[in-house]
Amino acid sequence: MNNKMKTSDISENLKGSEILNIGGKVRELLMKGEKIYNLTIGDFDTSIFSTPKLLKDAVIDAYNSGYTNYPVANGEPELRKNAAEYLKKVGGPDYIENEILVSAGARPLIYSFYRTVVDPGDTVLFPVPSWNNDAYSFLNRAETIEIPTKPENKFIPTAEEILPHISKVSLIALCSPLNPGGTVFERTQLEEICELILNENKKRLSENRKPVYLLFDSIYWQLNYGDAEFLHPVLIRPEIKDFMISIDGISKAFSATGLRVGWAYGPEDIIKKMSALLTHVGAWAPKPEQLGTAAFLAQFDEVQKYLDHHRFELSERLNGFYNGFKQLKSEGFSVDAIKPEAALYLSVNLELKGKQTPAGKMLNSAREITDWLIDEVRVALVPFYAFGSSDELCWFRLSVGRASLDDIPKIIETFRKSLSELK
């Protein structure tokens, strides 16, 4: 009997995560007792970035109060209400409780929105690098148009790049603040894209055709630094509200990735359809976590106090690495970085193609540079090809979620030494 039985086309052809592959190599080295700086994961060392005590206590209280049965299918009313009120209080768009859907983190929400608005054979447009849109498109049997973005635009897509394809697409998937780039849309960039979608939809609706929908993944929106401003499409062009879903949650802003509480907000009709789909999947956030999050969001001043500290700690690390790479560049090394604006990521350029390692290995692609970083430099970064870019593009995502301040000068010095050894 053949040990490898034939399964579905989707399961046979779904690509694995390159980030997880890199993580596996790092774990193998760590299990051997070797020292390696792991700057790959979009998660937090909770000994450095702890989940707010008020949030943890509220979740524990909900468990101790016996709220361990099924949650409401579309999310506990207290959470949906408090999430809507919180959003308005911080100057965000105005949504009501029935326009919010809660699930176990952001992923089920993104998947269900794809499933709700994308038919097999439809076309999804997204920029590269971007997180996981290729997988969601594949799972929905969609065609894709991938827009290669440019470092001079901070890896943010432009309306000019989208325009030639707008008539062919059913969904445009955007992320701001950007994973992997750690950058945000500027007002003009986002306004022009909104205008493009609205103009296309005027034509489609007059012909009774399905509109272009917009997925706006804003899970990092509360982590912005300096003069960088988070902009929401609905606040720029209110008419776009009928055609878009936004993604939010507690995982990144509150160092609570394992609590698995996320929510989407958008038109009530779309939210109901997404909720009906997820009912058959059962991707609910646990009831105690939902009630705890609702209680936490209601304590606005304490939430802001936590965020001020959280942002400060992240920005200290991001700017530490940014200044370190800029110093290396000033010393003549072929490296660079984009000034961090948001999230917990720094875009780092290692323009090392054509260089030779001390072991005699040529670095001819980002893939080979990635291996050199892990095997010889003992620093793990995520190459942008893991987010859909070409492996000729030598840009990398550096995550500071597990970096101590003491690590930063050591890592920069490690880079200095290793770069100086290349021929």
Q: Rounded distance, CA 289 to CA 63, Å? A: 9
Question: Does residue 239 sit in the same domain as residue 280?
Answer: yes
> Are 384 and 415 found together in one domain?
yes
Name which of 384, 392, 358 is nearest 372 in CA terms: 358
Read off the amino acid at residue 270: I
Judgement on whether residues 112 and 183 belong to the same structural domain of the protein? yes
Amino acid (one-letter) located at 212: V
14: Cα separation from own chain's centroid: 20
- CATH assignment at residue 171: 3.40.640.10
Are residue 16 and residue 162 in the same domain, yes or no? no
| Burial category of 21 from C-beta neighbours within 10 Å (exposed 0-12, middle 13-18, buried 19 and up) | exposed
From residue 77, give the alpha-carbon distance in Å to each of 98, 251, 273, 277.
9, 20, 18, 19
Quick one: how many helices (H) and strands (E) in the chain? 14, 15
Asked if the structure places residue 64 within a domain, the reply is no
Q: How would DSSP label each residue in 53-95?
A: HHHHHHHHHHHHTT--SPPPTT--HHHHHHHHHHHHHTT----
In one-letter notation, the amino acid at residue 237 is R
Measure the CA–CA gap between 175 and 183, rounded to whole angstroms: 10
Q: Which residue has the tokens 């010095």?
A: 413
Domain co-membership, 92 together with 112: yes
416: three-class secondary structure by DSSP: helix
- Structural domain contains residue 254: yes
Structure tokens at 358: 């001390």
Last residue of a domain, one of 254, 280, 299: 299
Both structure tokens of 120? 């097999």
Tell me how crowded residue 229 is: count the other CB atoms within 10 A of its CB.
12
Domain assignment present for residue 326? The answer is yes
Q: Three-state DSSP class for 363?
A: strand
- For residue 78, being part of any structural domain is answered with yes
Show Cβ contacts of residue 38 under 8 Å, excluding neighbours closer than 6 positions. Answer: 23, 26, 30, 380, 402
Question: Could you tell me if residue 231 is inside a domain?
Answer: yes
Residues 399 and 353 in one domain: yes
Rounded Cα–Cα distance for residues 105 and 71 (Å): 15
Same domain membership, residue 169 and residue 89: yes
In sequence order, the β-bridge partners of residue 244 are: 214
Q: How many domains does the chain have?
A: 2
Residues 270, 403 share a domain: no
Is residue 222 within 8 A of residue 306, CB to CB? The reply is no
Q: Per the domain annotation, does 45 fall within a domain?
A: yes
Cβ 394 vs Cβ 350: under 8 Å: yes
Which CATH number do you get for residue 23?
Answer: 3.90.1150.10
CA distances to 215, 221, 223, 334 from 229, rounded to whole Å, are 19, 9, 10, 30
Alpha-carbon gap, residue 271 to 289, rounded angstroms: 21
Please indicate, yes or no, whether residues 229 and 349 belong to a single structural domain of this protein: no
Residue 2: predicted pLDDT: 58
* 263 & 122 share domain: yes
Kindly state whether residue 59 falls inside one of the protein's structural domains: no
Rounded CA-CA distance 111/72 in Å is: 20
- Note the pLDDT of residue 378: 95
Question: What is the distance of C-alpha 363 from the center of its chain?
Answer: 29
Q: Enter the tokens of residue 247.
A: 């993604």
The pTM score is 0.95
Residue where a domain stops, chosen among 250, 281, 299: 299
The domain boundary residue, chosen from 245, 273, 299: 299
Instruction: Tell me if 384 sits within 8 A of 395, measured CB to CB.
Output: yes
Phi-psi region of 363 (alpha: psi -120 to 50; beta: other; left: phi over 0): beta
Concatenated DSSP letters of 99-147: GEEEESSHHHHHHHHHHHH--TT-EEEEEES-SSHHHHHHHTT-EEEEE
Task: Going from the first residue of the chain to its last (423 residues), give the mean pLDDT of each consecutive group of 10, the final group possibly shorter.
Answer: 80 85 87 92 94 98 98 98 97 96 98 97 97 95 97 97 98 97 96 98 96 98 92 96 98 97 98 97 96 98 98 98 98 98 98 93 95 95 96 96 96 97 93
203 domain-assigned:
yes
**Domain that residue 348 falls in:** 9-49+305-420
Same domain, yes or no, for 222 and 77? Answer: yes
Letter for the amino acid at 133? N
Paired strand residues for 382:
397
Residues in the chain: 423
Query: Looking at the structure, do residues 123 and 266 belong to the same domain, yes or no?
Result: yes
